[in-house]
Amino acid sequence: MTTPSRTRIGATLALLLTVVFGAGCARDRDSGSADLALKNGAIYTVNGARSWAQAVAIKDGRIIFVGTEQDLAAHVGPATQVVDLKGRMVLPGFQDAHVHPISSGLDFISCSLYDLEVFFVTEAGEAGIRKQETVDRYVEAIRKYAESHPDESWITGGGWVMSAFGPGALARRELIDAVVPDRPVILWSTDGHSAWANTKALEIAGITKDTPDPPDGRIDRHPKTGEAIGSLQEGAADLVAAKIPPPADAKRDEALRYSIRLLNGYGITTVQDAHVEPQELKTYRRADDSGELSLRVVASLWWEREQGLEQIDELKRLRDEYTRGRIDAGTVKIMQDGVMENYTAVVLEPYLLPDRPDERGIPMVDPERLTEAVTRLDAEGFQVHFHAIGDGAIRQSLDAVEAARRANGDSGQRHHISHLELIHPDDVPRFRRLGVVANFQPLWAFADTYITDLTIPFIGPERSEWLYPIGSVYRSGAVVAFGSDWSVSSANPLEQIETAVMRTPPLAPAGTTLEPFLPAERIDLPEAIAAFTINSAYVNRLDKDTGSIEVGKYADLVVLDRNLFEIPASEISDTTVLVTLIEGKAVHGKLEEL
């Protein structure tokens, strides 16, 4: 495990010795000249000592030398490709610890509503979304897509923001009916926790005013008639989704290719896909077998909450069948609650809802069954990847890991909890004590309309002081990893690093405030970089081979157009990834053009 910058002196000295002797042993393990040598760079190794180097040599996909330009000469032969970095910064390849490559790719190549919002900023500094103009854009995009795809029996996609429809994200079916009355349409919100369906889709699913809410979701209804209005929260969307014909293999492959290009372009070399079912595993396997998978993939197998422990045998079979090459299927994803914006995140104290004064969200898995599942999965050698947003769900997840520790001891599976929007302060120290990785999505940690309009008013000011407490968790000594949850938010790690350091929006988009949100929860640049490199490699169980620039590790590297340590933090998101290497091969950009 690699700790943050507060490494103990003894551990630091040990790591320094490792660096020194590792560099010295490079010649011993080098059976010939390097295939590729990078020189004259600002190489931030993210090793235990957080040291810098000038040069790197690579052979057979692995790093054989890290050090000074003078010492590099011993590894350069007639056939070595030598690249002058001209002072540019090199980092280990970024690792996204929570992302959805295939499903997000499908959204983007289908009816995409992403980035259509209309923002405003008042002279007083208040910001928000022009709701009607934004919704009008959504409807127009749906109309255009339907007209240009007349042969599609279902129109699917997503990308609408919940704040465009106000508190509760009550999207109305009549809006879609006006432009697509004759074909079923269902479109997911950016976060994937709400769906917007037209009347045809509701009819096909058999949803009427008499249809009960599923245990893990809510059908939004007209307050007078009880009829479904078109917005479906959490598991209620599955009632419609179950009727959609599955995408063809060719479309899944196209979606993955789209995402690979995007992610490699952002310097990402490893991902943990946060929701993988058998069809996604087959898609990854086809890409890996054909040589197209220029990502290392940790696949989080989906835990079916309607089932129990009997599904573990099938999860073991999938792990055994698909774990090879660049795919590791040894993680299980358990979704424990929803989101704050539609009041389905599980909270310890009720939401401030006048019409539902006792509302505490929807626990997706009964806490007792959760404990049984996590204990058994831990014993079977699975890593557990939790979705937990509310302080109640986070506590339930920590309790389950604690029970597994009592039953099994420390199995070393590196369980992690994603999202962590609202952590009760009493639970912050438990991450380190239990060895649970805190997997934050840092791009959410600024005051956008989801926080100002849809969250703070419904949990109150006291609890709001503990929204995305990244700094507090770091200071507690826990391991913090970062993921984007793309397509919920941008997959660009540089935008996320900037937000983690500043607690303000990257790129200063219109409609958001530049005042830092809970500035005490900011972290330093080295900590933010570690969260996207060595710490994410730790949670991905790849830290022995990736996550830092050290002798013996894979040459998964990223070249940036500027040194992040030499620019204002507000410019980090302006940085461009020039080249991305996996095992020393360029999968984005060209070394010869540097």
The per-residue DSSP string of 285-333 comes to HHHHHTT---SEEEEEEEP-TTS-GGGHHHHHHHHHHH-BTTEEEEEEE
**Class of residue 150 by CB neighbours under 10 A (exposed 0-12, middle 13-18, buried 19+):** exposed
CA gap 483, 497 in Å, rounded: 10
DSSP code of 73? G
Q: Taken in order 334, 395, 525, 50, is the CA torsion positive or negative?
A: negative
* Digitized pLDDT (tens) for each residue of the chain, 594 residues in all: 333 333 332 333 333 333 333 443 343 345 589 999 999 999 999 999 999 999 999 999 999 999 999 999 999 999 999 999 999 999 999 999 999 999 999 989 889 898 888 877 655 555 677 889 999 999 999 999 999 999 999 999 888 888 888 887 789 999 999 999 999 999 988 888 889 999 999 999 999 999 999 988 999 999 999 999 999 998 899 999 999 999 999 999 999 999 999 999 999 999 999 999 999 999 999 999 999 999 999 999 999 999 999 999 999 999 999 999 999 999 999 999 999 988 999 999 999 999 999 999 999 999 999 999 999 999 999 999 999 999 999 999 999 999 999 999 999 999 999 999 999 999 999 999 999 999 999 999 999 888 999 899 999 999 999 999 999 999 999 999 999 999 889 999 999 999 999 999 887 554 445 789 999 999 999 999 999 999 999 999 999 999 999 999 999 999 999 999 999 999 999 999 999 999 999 999 999 999
Closest CA to 267 of 488, 552, 65, 564: 564
Tokens matching residue 259:
């995402």
Q: What are phi and psi of 588, to 5 degrees?
A: -150, 135
DSSP code of 162? G
Element (H, E) at 147: helix 131-148
Match 């302060």 to its residue by tokens: 425
Match 């970062």 to its residue by tokens: 482
**Three-state SS across 373-400?**
HHHHHHHCCCEEEEEECCHHHHHHHHHH
Domains defined along the chain, listed by start: 1-93+548-594 (2.30.40.10), 102-241 (3.10.310.70)
Contact 228, 541 (CB under 8 A): no
**Cβ contacts of residue 36 below 8 Å, gap of 6+?**
57, 58, 59, 80, 81, 83, 555, 584, 591
Question: Measured at the alpha carbon of residue 421, what is the angle toward residues 504 and 458, in degrees to the nearest 5?
Answer: 95
CA gap 121, 235 in Å, rounded: 35
Q: pTM of the entire structure?
A: 0.86
Output Rg (C-alpha) for the chain, integer angstroms: 24
